[in-house]
Structure 1
């Protein structure tokens, strides 16, 4: 019974990080050590090279002359990224949690298109999704200001998500009403053949895009269009104000690092922190090389 309880507790806590797994985690997921920075720099260079290879392969002349070399290089890149992805899974306490995270999905998409292309060759162009991995560039050169601003923006967007959703719901109601009104006022003879067409016109007008493929012809319709265009200025300003207010409220001026939690993989913990500010798990000792 006790052995079962210990096994259940270990399953809940995840695999302990120590020895080579802890060292591998620090190098792969953090960038406050020389080895971690070197790993991230090498990774970004490989991503850039692999994306450049896919772009070059799309040129018929280059593909005709160097097709065999390009295919071999792509297989090499895929092998390296596959090994790196497996090392990430092996070095985290909760592999499934990492695999479902944003960066986990990006890392998987970096290798998946090549394998899928063996079945459906047209999917090879999706390899360009690897460029998303360049989001890690903020951690590479210890750009604390950029890391802090990136984290602040993410927190502000998360905090203002409900307000923005409420705002968008109001906008959707407005464009539905205005689109329906334009359908009634202008009618099919002026291009407003249905309510969805009127809603399409309302969206393009309110967002100040104005393709011009559908325009009102009556005086009342032009008056409504003028009101929609003026309303569009306010529509663009409101979400910006919401996010800006949240960013202002969350400014704390604390130092930012790439120190991450082994439980929830959240980053940016203070050097002196003992527990994760997201999930409350105990943090391992902070590992950092002097600059």
Structure 2
């Protein structure tokens, strides 16, 4: 096989596996999606003892078939990119690897195969299959918004921790050990649980003053929950302004995504994109 034909073979396979613009790419992604769902269902069924007792062999063989298919897919993903390590250590590369090895490890360590449920993370590829690239871009905007908000959120969380420590200490002094507030750390734990409106109910104030303070903490909790949401929402709106539409094209050199619709070259490394 000549270098030209080998190059064409790799580029064609890369287009099918990594992109969703062609009929073959869409078919590949749909089959992959169905296989992932089937695999997750198999792992869940295998954890039910009554079902596993009756259909253990069928479930085990089916799981091995899917594992082998995922192994082949993983190898093809590695060989069709110019920088294999870039894919291997990428987010999807790590997820693909972790979703493949549990069954093999289960040959040495029992029970580990249940970690195959990590394959559910591979369902994130549904964005490409259903041509929801703009929503995938929106998820990137959300990540960027959270990064841009991290300073404000850090200050906010630091303030919440200080409030929890102060109010927890006050509740320790008001309620005392006889009502379950045995020490300051336990009282701070109660304050955090109450402030976040979780309310496990394992500790509860008994005195009128303690109940009054608890009521204020609960009301304060509703206001506190809304603050980080507002911060991230404001940053998200800023990130989302004038955002151009993107395609599902993936650079086979650096695996960069979210290229513009009519882009011919990678925005990250400048490598020519597949047509």
CA deviation map 1:150-186 (0-9, x unaligned):
3322332232233323322222222122222222222
Residue of structure 1 in register with 2:3 after alignment: none
Residue of structure 1 in register with 2:260 after alignment: 270
CA deviation map 1:74-103 (0-9, x unaligned):
111111111111222222233223222221
Question: 1:146 Cα shift?
Answer: 2.7
Task: Name the CA shift for 1:283/1:155 in 2 (closer, same or farther; >3 Å).
Answer: farther
Distance in 2 between residues matched to 1:103 and 1:164, nearest whole Å: 28
CA deviation map 1:213-270 (0-9, x unaligned):
2111223322321221121112110111111111111222421211223454332110
Superposed counterparts of 1:30-179, under 5 Å: 30-179=19-168
**TM-score normalised by the chain length of structure 2:** 0.89
SS at 2:111's partner residue?
helix
Residue of structure 2 in register with 1:12 after alignment: none
CA deviation map 1:57-77 (0-9, x unaligned):
223343233222221111111
SS at 1:192's partner residue?
coil
Distance in 1 between residues matched to 2:254 and 2:182, nearest whole Å: 52
Asked if 1:259 is matched to 2:249, the reply is yes
Residue of structure 2 in register with 1:284 after alignment: 272
**The 10-residue stretch of structure 1 (208-217 or 268-277) with the greater mean CA deviation from structure 2:** 268-277
Question: 1:202 Cα shift?
Answer: 0.9
Aligned residue among 232, 235, 250 for 2:239: 250
Superposed counterparts of 1:208-223, under 5 Å: 208-223=197-212
| Contact 1:114–1:124 (Cα < 8 Å) also in 2 | yes
SS at 2:171's partner residue?
helix
Distance in 2 between residues matched to 1:172 and 1:220, nearest whole Å: 22
Distance in 2 between residues matched to 1:179 and 1:29, nearest whole Å: 52
Unmatched runs of 5 consecutive residues or more in structure 2: 1-5
Unmatched runs of 5 consecutive residues or more in structure 1: 1-16
Distance in 2 between residues matched to 1:163 and 1:112, nearest whole Å: 40
